[in-house]
Structure 1
């Protein structure tokens, strides 16, 4: 797959990937790489688009450590990036375990860390993975297929109240109660085994002429629950920031409001010094800001990228620098 677009309205570039087009490619590299001889981490390797961009930018003295928990992604990226030799290494793990990965890689502190949060286009487009409501296949949605919990267990074993919470909190679905009730009614007859069966149930909870696909929010919510995405993100932000050297940067790309809100709030907290209550006239906690925001507002895709990559519409890039 190839896409052509202008960056900054001055020069045309080409990004080629059989896996998926990396979002905010040039904006990410520009804001992440501060030392071409440094050590960098791509926490979400995917098809290797951002990883290859980093490898091209850093010098022969530099180093990139990539992480992913998806065997399919790792195997694809190995073929793509093996030409970079010892500059690049990859570890199969959840990026929540970044401290363990860095210990294994012999890196104490690093210059920059990237997280591209969410599901890759390839995972969504693979019918066997069960991420998409467009295909009728077994309920799964596991990013790491070695994990026990899948969408099947969530849909068929969670209590109705827990399903309501997940659909409302993770999917922000106003029909959460009705969807949960219909799921519980159906599974009394027989287990819900496929994405097609689940979509059929969800449709009954929505008005006949909904503008967006009625299953989108519920599928997002189940995927987040199966992969513990929000808890993983919170843990990974704390561990990643602690793993940065002075002046190092953490860049995070998010694709929906729940993720972006977490990143925004945690970055703001890291950049805030005194945590004393407002009614106390002087600071007694002696807390100092640990970081500073590189961009006050999130960086979003320009019109040229949006023409070629639909996934970029909801993407937001936030960057923090360690003091």
Structure 2
């Protein structure tokens, strides 16, 4: 592959490379951290992907570049994808010193076959995705992810997308709104919150994050340490960005882009995402398919993987102490079978 040709180049916009450093997000325990957030389960990612010189990896959710840099430090080549233009700009600056081995491409990880195809990239030794919102996106009030800072009800990771949280909150019918909050947030009071939203929006539409957060707090007070709006905001983010649908599409295609022996690593932070990953791995690692109407099992044409993680890998307590975001992280890994 001509690494410097086509679209697969990484050049920061102006200025020499300087390591990015930003004040820490509250969830990081008040510690100074790299841009966006401390990458979770980094050692486990390295153990499964086994990076070294000559290997080519896709980081489909490159974000602040923490995992990508760890791979690069072991001599690998890395293609970093992200749908967030701001994140890509920062990661280009952070990893500019690896320009001969790193390139950044914009796009949702669900679209990686199209994006990589256009860039002339193929034959991957490993693929990584780390699904979830970054600390820096949470900290930016104008992005609308946080219930602690007032901003527009946006929540789009790709600012070019049309669907916003305001569209969901003000436009979805009661039953559909309750379904989103229940299914993607795991919120036990989903219907109560949905009814409160529908009543309030009849009086005036929702336009800001604090307006919605305060309404939810009134509808469901007294949640202890967790803010009552936490699960609803999570659900809205997943719906706005179509994260579950994106994960399903990605998991269907990712194994086909791996070389034999190549590895796929998925880090998720929500039970629905982890379940989708588990089921996809099971489906694509079963040698045979069986149905009641069949006389006998039949070979599975999609049997492409060997599962490496019987149960999801979780962070050790030492990592959680350093980076509280790691507490809910779940890692699953699989390996492409020989052709």
Per the normalisation by structure 1, the TM-score is 0.90
Report the RMSD for the aligned CA atoms in angstroms: 1.8
Aligned partner of 1:177 among 187, 191, 201: 191
* SS of equivalent to 1:86: coil
1:243-291: CA deviation from partner (whole Å, max 9, x where unpaired): 1111110001011111101101111111111111268564334657321
Contact kept in structure 2, 1:292 and 1:321, CA below 8 Å = yes
Q: Does 1:56 align with 2:73?
A: yes
- CA contact under 8 A between 1:154 and 1:226: conserved in structure 2? yes
Question: After superposition, where does 1:225-264 map in structure 2 within 5 Å?
Answer: 225-264=239-278
Contact in 1 for aligned 2:132/2:268 (Cα 8 Å): yes
Aligned residues: 308
Matches of 1:281 and 1:275 in 2, distance apart?
A: 12
- Quick one: distance in 2 between partners of 1:70 and 1:214? 28
Q: In the superposition, relative to structure 1, how do residues 238 and 208 fare at CA in structure 2: closer, same or farther (>3 Å)?
A: same
Q: In structure 1, how many angstroms separate the alpha carbons of the residues matched to 2:335 and 2:115?
A: 21
* Post-superposition offset of 1:312: 0.3
Give the Cα separation in 2 of the matches to 1:284 and 1:225: 36
Note if 1:68 corresponds to 2:82: yes
Distance 1:86 1:201, change over 3 A: same
SS of 1:170's partner is helix
2:44 matched to which residue of 1? 27
CA distance in 2: counterparts of 1:106 and 1:33, whole angstroms = 24
2:53 aligned with 1:36? yes
TM-score, length of structure 2 as denominator length: 0.86
Q: Tell me how far apart the structure 2 counterparts of residues 182 and 297 of structure 1 sit (CA, whole Å).
A: 39
Match of 2:134 among 120, 126, 132: 120
Given that residues 79 and 102 in structure 2 are in contact (C-alpha distance below 8 angstroms), is that contact kept between their aligned partners in structure 1?
yes
For 2:64, the equivalent position in structure 1 comes to: 47
Once residues 90 and 313 of structure 2 are traced to their aligned partners in structure 1, the CA distance between those partners, rounded to angstroms, is: 29
3-state SS in 2 of match to 1:318? strand
Shift of residue 174 of structure 1?
Answer: 1.4
- Partner SS, residue 83 of structure 1: helix
Structure 1 segments unaligned to the other structure (5+ residues) = 3-14
For structure 2, the residue ranges without an aligned partner over 5 or more in a row are 1-20, 23-31
- Counterpart residue number, 1:104: 118
Output the CA distance in 2 between the equivalents of 1:210 and 1:80: 39
How far does residue 172 in structure 1 lie from its aligned partner after superposition?
A: 1.3
The answer as to 2:305 corresponding to 1:291 is: yes
Quickly say closer, same or farther: Cα 1:215–1:16, change in 2 above 3 A: closer
